[in-house]
Amino acid sequence: MGRAAVLAVVTVAGLTAGCGAQPGEDAVTRAAGQWLAAAQGRDAAALCRLLTPAAAESAATGDETCQQALGDLDLPGDGPVGAVQVWSDQAQVRAGGDTLFLTRLSDGWRVNAAGCRQQGDEPYDCDVEG
């Protein structure tokens, strides 16, 4: 997810913050929990499987595979899944020291940005994004 898309998701989040629980929230929570467990266990292969194809491709830069690139990152895996917001086929999850952005694909929810930190009024700065 590019920085502009992350900003758009955050803007939508602000507009829909008053809405009740959204359909798919449980599935998003499970997907985020899998990501956090893999990050805590430093399981780069599992992390790559949990990414959207675009994020996995983006992580694999230069001579590094997705697994090598994610293995080199110190992605937060601490803390339980916290606030979950779902907007149609996009979601944001806050967990411990991380903010994740997920996209619903035909085979379920996948992470398209992780290791994201707010930058004030600027778009999120993410370690992994696609």
| Model pLDDT for residues 92-123, shown as the tens digit of each residue | 999 877 899 999 999 999 999 999 988 888 88
20 inside domain: no
pTM, to two decimals:
0.78
Residue 5 or residue 77, greater confidence? 77
Query: What CATH number does the domain containing 47 carry?
Result: 3.10.450
Sequence-separated (6 or more) residues with CB below 8 Å from residue 77: 36, 37, 38, 39, 40, 41, 42, 96, 98
What is the number of structural domains in the chain? 1
106 inside domain: yes
Domain that holds residue 76: 25-129
Flag whether pLDDT at 64 surpasses 50. Answer: yes
Instruction: Identify the helix (H) or strand (E) that includes residue 10.
Output: helix 3-16
Each residue's pLDDT tens digit, 28-46 = 999 999 998 998 889 999 9
Question: How far apart are alpha carbons 55 and 1 in whole angstroms?
Answer: 7
